[in-house]
Chains A and B, each alone.
Chain A
Amino acid sequence: MVVHSARGGQRFLADNGEVDEADIDAVGALADPLRRRLYEYVVGREGETSRAEAAEAVGVQRTLAAFHLDRLVEAGLLATSRRKPSGRGGPGSGRPAKLYRRADRQVDVHLPPRDYETAAHLLAEAVQRSGAEEALYAAARAEGSRRGSAAPAERPVDLDRLGELLAGLGYEPAAEAEEPRTLRLRNCPFHTLARAFPPLACGMNLELLRGLLEGARAEGFTARMAPRGEHCCVAISKNKNS
């Protein structure tokens, strides 16, 4: 069982190699179906979410939503901030609202204990030292192509279908408001590796996605490096002429 909750900083399993108790608690907090829906709603949104928004989205009372949201905070899965609702500044505008977003922490639970994270970092270090990046990129491209061709797809592949494919791989795609022909990937599935070896991991990811487009025969789309903020380093755009 593997659960990735977040875009944490560099982090391996607990230093002694054992599964962290807090990580198990975090996963346990998601066992409640309502809590899980609230979690998925909050992490699926671009910015921060208020209690009222979350309550409305899952169709429960605000106090019940607040209870579960705060349990998710205690479990380390969500983080909070307090901010006055926009457009209602100044005196008399009330207490700042409690807003929820995904926590930075990454939750890894492998049962029995496995440590692929350390393995990935060591392999990356070795690739970098030996200058074997191009072999890695070629392998990534082939794997992407395999994944893309394994996915049944109608022709031609459109932005929505591509979005589903990427969502299934954990990228959390979202169409850009100002660039509707571009998919931004809100989650980097290789986040901790990309923090430690940015050119290597991001180059690998780019080739993986290029291969995916080829394999899915999404000829009208281009994957390119476009790092921004906490997002994945790759953006996928529909070509102008298609």
Chain B
Amino acid sequence: MSGHHLAQLNVGTLKAPLDSPALADFVALLDPVNALADASPGFVWRFRSEGTDDATSERFFGDDLILNLSVWESVEALWEFTYRSDHLDALRRRREWMVPMTGRFLVLWWIPAGHVPTLAEAGERLDLLREKGPTEHAFDFRTRFPAPA
């Protein structure tokens, strides 16, 4: 490894409150999908709200924006979990639960291995991607940048 890890933030807007019947399938998938992430090759860390096992109660970016913040050994490891595991089945159904986002809702960036990204820092990276498009400081799956040497 290069001494760097990949950080990832994505945000989304739920169609209904988490405790509503419309979101029941989504809520039921949280624990198994989080467990799948934790056990995936290349998984390093994911953000959890204090005193909980996940980030679903966190509203750092706005009252209706839920978020995921996680760290992986490589872009490929994150790609495999995101799109080549049972997580894909949840993504396929996202319109049942999530409002379509205008603009970018996912950002990737490199961090020194061992660094724990903060929500504020993650938000800055998303802003950077939205302002400047993909750069080595903030990018996406489609336009990837290698880890710093």
Q: Interface extent on A, as a size class?
A: 10 to 19
**Bound CA–CA A229/B80 (angstroms):** 9
- B59 interfacial contact with A, CB 8 Å: no
Q: Work out how many contacts link A and B, with CB atoms closer than 8 A.
A: 41
Q: Interface residues of A: mostly helix, strand, loop or mixed?
A: helix
Contacting pair B91 A129 (CB below 8 A): no
Given A131-B95, A196-B142, A202 contacting B88 (CB threshold 8 A): yes
Please provide the chain A residues from 120 to 173 with a CB less than 8 Å away from any CB of chain B in the complex: 128-131, 133-134
What 1/0 mask marks residues of chain A from 223 to 241 whose CB sits below 8 Å from any chain B CB? Answer: 0111111000100000000
Among residues of B, the one whose C-beta sits closest to the C-beta of A205 is B92
Report chain B residues within 8 Å CB of A203.
92-93
User: Which of A128, A206, A226 is the one whose CB lies under 8 Å from B92?
Assistant: A206
What 1/0 mask marks residues of chain A from 97 to 139 whose CB sits below 8 Å from any chain B CB? Answer: 0000000000000000000000000000000111101100000
Contacting pair A225 B102 (CB below 8 A): no
- A199 interfacial contact with B, CB 8 Å: yes
**Bound CA–CA A182/B85 (angstroms):** 18
**Bound CA–CA A233/B95 (angstroms):** 19
Contacting pair B85 A227 (CB below 8 A): yes
Among residues of B, the one whose C-beta sits closest to the C-beta of A226 is B86
- A198 interfacial contact with B, CB 8 Å: yes
Report chain B residues within 8 Å CB of A199.
83, 88, 91-92, 94
Q: List 12 A-B contacts (CB under 8 A).
A: A129-B100, A129-B102, A196-B142, A198-B83, A198-B88, A198-B91, A199-B83, A199-B92, A199-B94, A203-B93, A224-B89, A228-B84
Seen from chain A, the residues whose Cβ lies within 8 Å of a Cβ on chain B are 128-131, 133-134, 196, 198-199, 202-203, 206, 224-229, 233
